[in-house]
Amino acid sequence: MKHSIYASIACLFLVACGGSSSTDTTTDTPQTKEALGELLFNDTSLSLTRNMSCATCHNPEQAFVDTRTNSVGKAVSVGDDGSSLGDRNSPTIGYANFTPDFDLDDLSGGQFLDGRASNLTEQAKGPFLNAVEMQMPDEASVIARVQENDSYVSSMQSLYGATVFDDTDTAYTAIADAIAAFENTNVFFPFDSDFDTNTMSAAAIRGRVLFRSNAINCVRCHDDRPQNNTLFTNFEYENLGIPINSAVRAINGHTTDLGLSEHPDVNDGRQDGRFKVSTLRNIAVTGPYMHNGVFQNLKTVVHFYNTRDVNGSINPETGLAWEAPEVNRANIVTNDVGDLGLSDAEEDDIVAFLEALTDAKYESLIP
């Protein structure tokens, strides 16, 4: 299984990239699962060297992505040991609670970029034990760290039963459930962007018209229907022909990332290279972009969608032609992507529309 830096899934605003230590007992016992989950998400003591919390890779002050600099331009994240690099970009966890459970029949939904965690609780279990991320050796070790804090113990026994710690699986699931409960609070989904408040600029309005037009048809994958909570995703998986991130591969090795095919229940080579269609909420402030962080700028992403298949087109970040897909399969999306015929000004309008999807708290972060 790929080692990726996603950190666990929920956190609030105690400290942007660190949090409290579970050895620092508190006199106030969390009375709700959400409050307990907030504390757990921010607690650096739940990683091997007590150096990393969920908030480390999902900074609540930056729309829940990793803002730390590193040798690969933040394309992927550094683990608890301060040197190991993940292999995929840390996605925002904003609005993640609206994602349905993974559906093996439809190949949709689920958490992580390959859907391998069915829901938020299952996702929250992963990063603690990931050998690159928080690097804890086993579930019992995580539980032992939680038990160092008397208020955590009291809270879990009150919320999950007096015998919650009698069984490792029960206790570990309760920890993850609390984190997932916290992610279901509106800290993660305020729906207060310019789009939501109908205060978009003229450029953003033009961009939305393009975004929804039959010729461009961004909404085929980035569904903007209100009945789908206007999350700008269809929860499915696509292979867009994303180039390899050579800088990450030079460090982590040259194993091809097969995306959805690496889901433990998916045994179908036709799914090679497909990755989750992400929400576009807060997209303007959650770069780098794509599953491997290969693009630094949002305009580059739009230009890639527009010109991927156009002879002579250039990646503005490298000054060179678009590189070949990392996974070149027949399932690469060819309709609606690759040769959209947009002008530079129209690309800018689409970027303006995407910027209008930024939550009010993060508007000042738009480049």
Helix H, strand E, coil C: the string for 287-307 is CCECCCCCECCHHHHHHHHHH
**pLDDT value of residue 275:** 97
Q: Region 51-79: what's the mean pLDDT?
A: 96
**pLDDT value of residue 221:** 95
**pLDDT value of residue 331:** 76
Q: Region 342-349: what's the mean pLDDT?
A: 98
Residue 216 and residue 130 in one domain: no
Give 292-340 pLDDT, tens digit per residue: 999 999 999 999 999 999 999 999 999 999 999 999 987 788 778 999 9
Using a pLDDT cut of 90, give the percent of the chain over it: 89
Domain's final residue, options 153, 183, 213: 183
Give 255-283 pLDDT, tens digit per residue: 899 999 999 999 999 999 999 999 999 99
**pLDDT value of residue 2:** 40
Give 82-131 pLDDT, tens digit per residue: 999 999 999 999 999 999 999 999 999 999 999 999 999 999 999 999 99
Residue 103 and residue 146 in one domain: yes
pLDDT at 63 over 90: yes
The boundaries of the domain holding residue 229 are 202-365
Q: Is 8 part of any domain?
A: no
Residue 100 and residue 225 in one domain: no
- Residue 134's domain is classified under what CATH number? 1.10.760.10
Residue 254 and residue 344 in one domain: yes
Amino acid identity of 257?
D
Highest mean pLDDT among 19-33, 48-62, 215-229: 48-62
Closest CA to 4 of 127, 107, 98: 127
Residue 208 and residue 172 in one domain: no
Residue 179 and residue 206 in one domain: no
Q: Is 56 part of any domain?
A: yes
Q: Which helix or strand (DSSP H or E) is residue 238 part of?
A: strand 237-238
**pLDDT value of residue 23:** 45
Domain's final residue, options 155, 183, 211: 183
Residue 208 contacts residue 179 (beta carbons within 8 Å) = no
Q: Is 16 part of any domain?
A: no
Residue 305 and residue 332 in one domain: yes
Q: Is 324 part of any domain?
A: yes
274: DSSP letter: B
Residue 176 and residue 207 in one domain: no
Question: How many domains in the chain?
Answer: 2
Residue 307 contacts residue 241 (beta carbons within 8 Å) = no
Residue 99 and residue 38 in one domain: yes
What confidence category does residue 254 fall into, taking pLDDT thresholds of 50, 70 and 90? confident
> How far apart, in whole angstroms, are the C-alpha atoms of residue 10 and residue 255?
30
CA 311 to chain centre: 32
Q: At what angle do helices 298-307 and 344-355 cross, to 10 degrees?
A: 130
Q: Is 284 part of any domain?
A: yes
Q: Is 263 part of any domain?
A: yes
**pLDDT value of residue 13:** 34
Tell me the whole-structure pTM to 2 decimals.
0.91
Torsion angle in degrees (nearest 10) through CA of 218, 221, 222, 227: 120
Residue 80 and residue 212 in one domain: no
Q: Is 191 part of any domain?
A: no
Residue 109 and residue 241 in one domain: no
Residue 149 and residue 110 in one domain: yes
**pLDDT value of residue 27:** 52
pLDDT at 4 over 70: no
Q: Is 7 part of any domain?
A: no
Domain's final residue, options 116, 149, 183: 183
Give 135-194 pLDDT, tens digit per residue: 999 999 999 999 999 999 999 999 999 999 999 999 999 999 999 999 999 999 999 999
Q: Region 15-27: what's the mean pLDDT?
A: 45
pLDDT at 8 over 80: no
> How far apart, in whole angstroms, are the C-alpha atoms of residue 159 and residue 182?
14
